Amino acid sequence: MAENKKTNKSSGRGVNPSKKIWKKWWFWLIVIVFIGLLIPKDNSDGQKEPETKVETTTPELKTPTETVQPETTEIETREPETVEQEPTEKAEEPAAGKNIDDIGAYFSVSDVRNDVTGNWRISTIAENVDIQEYALSYYKEYFKDDKEIHAIVNFNYKTTTKISVIGNTLDVSIYDYVDGEEHDAKLLFSGTLLKEYSVNMDNGSIEEIQ
């Protein structure tokens, strides 16, 4: 009995069964060292690289709204230009001819003796007149048919004028007077031809032929 108690004391020397291992100071030292080793590793392992968020900002393209102003078409109001025409020499207006009544002579128109055509007529005057200027008026006054041929003896000029119709003109031929020709168709217009004119029956213009 005494030996057993002794054995138990010797075997239990220095052992405090109530003092557990976590109350030992060296245990905590080991734990602290161990934790100290783990913390940097965890921080290095657990430290995540900061994610670089690349925000792609799509710039809003603002299309500039151009205000198109309507083009103002300037209509120039121009005053009508007055074209000044240079004075030109007036073309001679066709003479309508002089009025036969202005001569103041009396034309006694009669048939010609010995005329075989029945178309010849004769009258006599003694005036200072150029009969070609009155030919158209004479025609309108005394001709009854375009087939007629009229002789005008001017004793003042000693000429015999023959007036006949050719188309749309009057042929006015002036001859030297032959004594007694007013009485005989065979002598009429037998003198020398002095002048010949063409008178336009539309406007009275006179053209000298010879």
- Tokens, residue 28: 């905590």
Residue 132 has pLDDT above 80, yes or no: yes
pTM: 0.55
Give the list of residues 6+ apart from residue 156 with CB closer than 8 angstroms, or none: 125, 126, 127, 128
Is residue 98 within 8 Å of residue 134, measured between CB atoms? Answer: yes
Confidence at residue 83, expressed as pLDDT on a 0 to 100 scale: 56
Cα→Cα distances 169→68, 159, 183, Å: 75, 22, 28
Looking at mean pLDDT, say which of 2-6, 38-42, 132-136 comes out highest.
132-136
Q: Is residue 6 part of a domain?
A: no
Query: Please, which contacts does 100-104 make with residues 24 or more away whose CB atoms are closer than 8 Å?
Result: 100/134, 100/137, 100/138, 100/141, 101/137, 101/141, 102/134, 103/127, 103/129, 103/134
pLDDT value at 202 more than 80: yes
Q: Cα–Cα–Cα angle for 29, 45, 48, nearest 5°?
A: 135
* pLDDT tens string 13-54: 444 554 555 566 777 788 788 787 776 544 444 455 555 554
Position 4 confidence tier, pLDDT thresholds 50, 70, 90: very low
33 in a structural domain: no
On average, the pLDDT of the chain sits at 77
Q: What is the pLDDT of residue 90?
A: 39
Residue 64 falls within a domain, yes or no? no
Domain count, the chain: 1
> pLDDT band for position 93 (50/70/90)?
very low
Q: Looking at the predicted structure, is the pLDDT value of residue 152 above 60?
A: yes
* Domain membership of residue 113 as a residue range: 100-208
- 125 within some domain: yes
Q: What percent of the chain has pLDDT over 90?
A: 49
